[in-house]
Structure 1
Amino acid sequence: MGMFDLEKHFAFYGSYHNNPVNIFIHMLFVWPIFFTALVLFYFTPPIFSDSKVHLCCHTVLVFNFGFLLAVVYGIYYIGMDRKAGCLGALLCFLCWVSSSHLAHRLGFSCAWKLVLAAQVICWAGQFIGHGVFEKRAPALLDNLAQAFLMAPFFVLLEALQSFFGYEPYPGFHDSVQAKIDAEIKEWKEKQKKKNS
C-alpha cells in the first residue's frame, strides 16, 4: 500500500468501519484520543534546549514529542489530500496548542488522571462500536501504525463527506466504496472458511 495512496488507506480503514453507528462512535471518540494523548505528551522533554514559547493566558508551548506528533500527522494528511489535509493539519495544530494550554494549567498530577479517564472511555466506546455494531475487530489489530495514523483523518473525511458532500476528487467516494465492499466480502469469505 503506497504511503500516500488515499483510496487504498481509506478503503482499508473503511472496511473496518462500515456500520453507521460505529462510524458515529468513532467520530465522537477518535479526536479526543488524539487530543488527550497530546495532553500527556506535553510533559515529555523538549526536542532541543530553549524550545519553549510563552503565549498569552499563561500557555507555554513546548516543542517536544507532542509537537513532533502533531507535525507528522499534519504533514501526512496534507500529503494524502491537500484540501482536507490542510484542515486536518490545522486541527492537529489546534489540538497541540489547546492540549498544551490544558496540560500547563492542570499540571502532571491532574493531567494524567484526566487523560487516563478520557482514554478509557473513548477506547471502550470504540471497542463497543466494533463488537456490538460492526461485528468485526478494529483495524489496529491488523495494522497498528496505519490505524493510528489514519483514524483522525478517516473521521475528518467521513464528516466532510457526510455533511458537505466533499470528495478529494470526483468519483472518490464510489471508488472507495467499491473497494470497501470487496474487502468486506473477502473478509466474510475468510470467516466462513474459518468457521467451517
Structure 2
Amino acid sequence: MGEGLLDLRSQLGFYKFYHHNPRNVLIHSIFVPTILFSGCCMLHRVKIYQGISLTAVLSVSFSIFYCLLYFPTGLLAGVLLLLLNLALIDRRVDLTFKQELSLFVIGWIFQFVGHGVFEKKRPALVDNLVQSLVLAPYFIMFEFLFKLGFMPRLKATLEHDLEIKQRNSRKQKQ
C-alpha cells in the first residue's frame, strides 16, 4: 500500500482506521458536514483580499488536494464546496455567529462522544490534526458514495487494509 500524501488509498485508510464503527461513522456522517458548514460560515466572515473570504481560499485548497487524490470525486467535492461558497456570498445562509458557533461546538461534542463511546479509540486528529481536518469531509463523501454502491472495489480494498492494520495493532499491544 502506498503511503504518499497523494495516495487515495493510504489517505482514506488512515481515516478509516479511526472510523470503522458503524455508529461512529453515522455520527461523523451527520456532524462532519455540520462542522464543515458552520466552520465555513464563520470563516466566510474573514476577508483575505478584496472581499475574498478565508472560506473561499480553503475551499479551493481542499478541492485541489481532493482532485489530486482522485479527480472525479475531487471534482464532486469541489462543486459542493463551490455551491456552499455561492450560498454564503448570496447570503442564502443567514445565521448569526452565535448560531454558527453553536453548531460547530455541538458537532465537535458529538465527534468526541462517537469516538469515546462507540469507537473506543482516540480521534484521528490526535495523531494528525491537519490531515484529519482536511480529509474528514472527503472521507464522509466516500462513505456516502459507498452506501450508494459506487466504487465497491475501493471499499473492499479499504476494508481489507483495515483488517490488516487492526491485526497489526493488536499484535503490537500484546
Question: Scaled by the length of structure 2, what TM-score is found?
Answer: 0.90
Confirm or deny that 1:129 pairs with 2:111. Answer: no
Corresponding residue for residue 114 of structure 1: 99
Corresponding residue for residue 183 of structure 1: 165
Corresponding residue for residue 160 of structure 1: 145
Corresponding residue for residue 45 of structure 2: 43
Secondary structure of 2:47 counterpart = coil
> Structure 1 residues 31, 100: closer, same or farther in 2, change over 3 A?
farther
Q: CA deviation at 1:114?
A: 1.2
> Deviations along 1:89-146, whole A, 9 cap, x unmatched?
111111222234459845xxx32x1122101111111111111111111100001111
> Structure 1 residues 166, 173: closer, same or farther in 2, change over 3 A?
same
Confirm or deny that 1:139 pairs with 2:131. Answer: no
Corresponding residue for residue 28 of structure 1: 30
Q: Is the 8 A contact 1:25 1:129 kept in 2?
A: yes
Corresponding residue for residue 53 of structure 2: 64
Secondary structure of 1:3 counterpart = coil
The one of 14, 18, 26 equivalent to 1:12 is 14
> Unmatched 5+ residue regions in structure 1?
50-61
Q: CA deviation at 1:172?
A: 1.9
Task: Determine the C-alpha separation between the residues in 2 that align with 1:150 and 1:144.
Answer: 10
Question: Scaled by the length of structure 1, what TM-score is found?
Answer: 0.80
Q: Larger radius of gyration, structure 1 or 2?
A: 1
Letter in 1 for 2:110: G
> Unmatched 5+ residue regions in structure 2?
none
Secondary structure of 1:136 counterpart = coil
- Percentage of pairs with the same residue: 31
Q: Is the 8 A contact 1:66 1:96 kept in 2?
A: yes
Secondary structure of 1:174 counterpart = helix
Q: State the superposition RMSD in angstroms.
A: 1.9
Letter in 1 for 2:14: F
